[in-house]
Structure 1
């Protein structure tokens, strides 16, 4: 009895052991500030919004409605959520593998035994032999693998980490979709602004054509001047189709992102005022915050944890595995005596499995797991570098676009004054039409570029919020 107790205690002590390296989150070097912030920052039009709901910082109700529809209706987001459910189920399955298993089985077999079979030949020699037989069996069984080396524990840890990585990937899909919707929205507003500028220019050029035609009728203007004015009008008109094509494409893109057929919300979005302000971006914490906010970085770190656990699972193959099984059942040819002491047939088994002569393969499995862990660690560090690069580039783009926008605003004002002065001078006959046409061309180019930069500035802000991991309420503690 003493030996049995000691043996049982030893088994349970060993069952609590877990081989392999315990996971420690890797240290990744991260600066406490962004280099681009040291430069002159962009001038925001509104304060920095919360990262969780950064799109509200643009103070555009239509953008808020679009993002809410994307989050509620996007099909890719639903598919990503389904992948999370699969990962959760896999983690639950791995955890359940460490628990005892139980089963209840029963069956009734009716057969007519062959007298030529081994059993039939022997049994038919006895008086009262009945070829038609009914065998009834019922039993409850239980089994439990004693996780001595911790293989099941490590596999459960790996599955849990994979589930957490799937959750982070889902957050990444959410962030990407929100940013993509905002990017498409600001492209829509940029196209609309450029279309309005082109239409305004068409009206101006039409007036200039009329003026030249009047002067030509009076013998003051020439055919060349009339043709030049007409060519500039056609040039302005020709700029509309590409802009209309861009506008339609981005409206269709928004509809699909909202889980609707193209054209569903296009009229509503196009008719909305579309006024927005550029929010500030809070860079407090520097790149170090990306370790907690960027879903791709978090997912990469969880992949490292998963691969680390699989190293332990591979090492556990060096050790023997034990299992306990038991069956409590009844078996009888007479159904009326099934649940009697004579029909009772219990059984218990202690199983042992040890890959004694297979260590070459185990060595290979361990090396493979260690290589996968090393790869995951390098991917984690690379993801951090890419995340920092994304934010730095976005901040630089914001700063430079802000400078460009300020310069373009001054340029448009100067070209507008020069164009008005040239037209007055042309009416008075002081300058030729070529000077007026040149000023018109330069003003149109400056106004069009200003509209592009204004939209690109908003898109760069979107890219910055996306790069910083904005758009979800989670984070790694």
Structure 2
């Protein structure tokens, strides 16, 4: 057993007692916004209802569309952006493990050497050659004590960065679900507009054929023929663009769910169906929902991580105390050379006294970065409130316009029926029929576009309130997990972190997850 001298024991006990007792740098202060507590949106209150749906985490179920449900489930499993976000959580978890290693001796190094000596002594009475081997083995240990909280602050920063990565993953989920629903109903809208365009083109083609026969027989002027032809070809020309829009939107959906661009056979059902939901279901008051938005939570956690980085930088202003120790064994094949075992140990004090402002300016750099993140967080909360209020107001106005356009479409359809009857009976010219056909197509198309806008505003409102942040899918899918484990020893880092219970809000507490 190695005996440590009395003075060294005293230094060790003092070092261990003081280590970790002081942590320089600011403690995290939540960058809250005072106005949020009393914030409310009259528009949001008008379109909300406090009744929970079957699953509060899956707002798209309000559309009662099983095809959309299946597509979102497939996107959860295969979307590349979501996979990358899950892998960044694992990266942050590994970074946390690196930071936690600072609790233990930073230097733990074993060494072994075997050296061959060919020593030739010439001259003198007994010149001789000496050939021998010298072997040595040693173990060095160095432990910088955490006097000023350098390592505990680094762990604090990495811990909150890990939770920020989880919040960013939840934010990708929110955006993905909203983008999936928006693209899906954009596709249904394009299909419905295409159907209306084809129906109107067939109607106008019949009118064109009638005027053509009348002109050939001499019963109608060429003007009626050319006007009917112009209107028919104009409507016909809109069909290729709508067909292209259907193909582009379908390809976008394919990529979102991790498939190559192409046909989606399941979309044959419910073709052109656009639902109309006039209420959003809330699980809490809007102010709380804003603060629980994953991107807002991620911004707050990034502030916490950067706050700890100030303490890491500030610790460099003070001396560092390390405990150093070595055990060295030496042996030689030279006759008469003794073997030796040396034990070396003691404290080491280092202090960078003349850094020409490098350390202080590094502290200032970290503080400036912290203030930038605080401003970004505060702006993020304001932007979240704006998005929610804008979406709610737009939804209200879209619903008002939907009722007006619905009546206008019915009136246009009735007008065309009357215009056709009066033209056949000779009470009006063909121009009134053309005007009625044009008005019908325009009103029907405007009605579909506005209905799609209302659905988009509803989706935007759920996105603005952070809906859809939870998924049952693992952060790393089994195929990717197996591929990574074949390359690298990941230990238990790829194991899933604990998930909140069903129906719970995103986690708000921070704490070390990998002790």
Q: Matches of residues 7-406 of structure 1 in structure 2 within 5 Å?
A: 7-15=11-19, 16-29=21-34, 30-37=36-43, 40-41=46-47, 50-101=55-106, 103=108, 105-115=110-120, 131-216=130-215, 219-263=218-262, 265-273=263-271, 275=273, 277-279=275-277, 280-283=279-282, 284-292=284-292, 294-334=293-333, 342-358=339-355, 360-406=357-403
* CA 222–81 in structure 1, closer or farther in 2 if over 3 Å, else same: same
TM-score, with normalisation over the residues of structure 1? 0.89
* CA 377–191 in structure 1, closer or farther in 2 if over 3 Å, else same: same
SS at match of 2:57: helix
Is the Cα–Cα contact under 8 Å of residues 145 and 324 in structure 1 kept in the other structure?
yes
SS at match of 1:225: helix
Cα-to-partner distance string for 1:297-333 (whole Å, 9 max, x where unaligned): 1111111111211111222222211111222332211
Q: How far apart are 1:2 and its partner, in Å?
A: 7.5
* CA 24–272 in structure 1, closer or farther in 2 if over 3 Å, else same: same
Cα-to-partner distance string for 1:257-281 (whole Å, 9 max, x where unaligned): 1222111x43432455464534431
* CA 126–144 in structure 1, closer or farther in 2 if over 3 Å, else same: farther
Is the Cα–Cα contact under 8 Å of residues 278 and 461 in structure 1 kept in the other structure?
no
Is the Cα–Cα contact under 8 Å of residues 58 and 276 in structure 1 kept in the other structure?
no
SS at match of 1:137: strand
The CA RMSD measured in Å over matched residues stands at 2.9
In structure 2, the gaps of 5 or more residues are 471-504, 509-515
Cα-to-partner distance string for 1:188-241 (whole Å, 9 max, x where unaligned): 101000000011101211222233344445543222112211221111111101
* CA 39–170 in structure 1, closer or farther in 2 if over 3 Å, else same: closer
TM-score, with normalisation over the residues of structure 2? 0.83
Match of 1:427 in 2: 424
Q: Which moved more, 1:267-276 or 1:461-470?
A: 267-276
Q: Which moved more, 1:32-41 or 1:361-370?
A: 32-41
Is the Cα–Cα contact under 8 Å of residues 231 and 434 in structure 2 kept in the other structure?
yes
Q: Which moved more, 1:270-279 or 1:325-334?
A: 270-279
Is the Cα–Cα contact under 8 Å of residues 60 and 275 in structure 1 kept in the other structure?
no
- Asked if 1:475 corresponds to 2:481, the answer is no
In structure 1, the gaps of 5 or more residues are none
Is the Cα–Cα contact under 8 Å of residues 33 and 285 in structure 1 kept in the other structure?
no
* CA 83–358 in structure 1, closer or farther in 2 if over 3 Å, else same: same
Is the Cα–Cα contact under 8 Å of residues 74 and 259 in structure 1 kept in the other structure?
yes
SS at match of 2:58: helix
SS at match of 1:378: helix
Query: How far, CA to CA, are the matches of 1:128 and 1:69 in structure 2?
Result: 86
Match of 1:452 in 2: 449
SS at match of 1:256: helix
Q: Which moved more, 1:421-430 or 1:223-232?
A: 223-232
Q: Aligned pair count?
A: 466
* CA 259–430 in structure 1, closer or farther in 2 if over 3 Å, else same: same
SS at match of 1:97: helix
* CA 136–130 in structure 1, closer or farther in 2 if over 3 Å, else same: farther
Is the Cα–Cα contact under 8 Å of residues 110 and 132 in structure 1 kept in the other structure?
no
Query: How far, CA to CA, are the matches of 2:23 and 2:241 in structure 1?
Result: 65
SS at match of 1:113: strand
SS at match of 1:239: helix
Q: How far apart are 1:181 and its partner, in Å?
A: 1.8
* CA 354–206 in structure 1, closer or farther in 2 if over 3 Å, else same: same
* CA 352–344 in structure 1, closer or farther in 2 if over 3 Å, else same: same
* CA 140–228 in structure 1, closer or farther in 2 if over 3 Å, else same: same
* CA 106–371 in structure 1, closer or farther in 2 if over 3 Å, else same: closer
Is the Cα–Cα contact under 8 Å of residues 91 and 159 in structure 1 kept in the other structure?
yes
SS at match of 1:142: strand
* CA 272–139 in structure 1, closer or farther in 2 if over 3 Å, else same: farther
Is the Cα–Cα contact under 8 Å of residues 274 and 451 in structure 2 kept in the other structure?
no
Is the Cα–Cα contact under 8 Å of residues 108 and 142 in structure 2 kept in the other structure?
no
* CA 272–109 in structure 1, closer or farther in 2 if over 3 Å, else same: farther
Q: How far apart are 1:104 and its partner, in Å?
A: 5.5
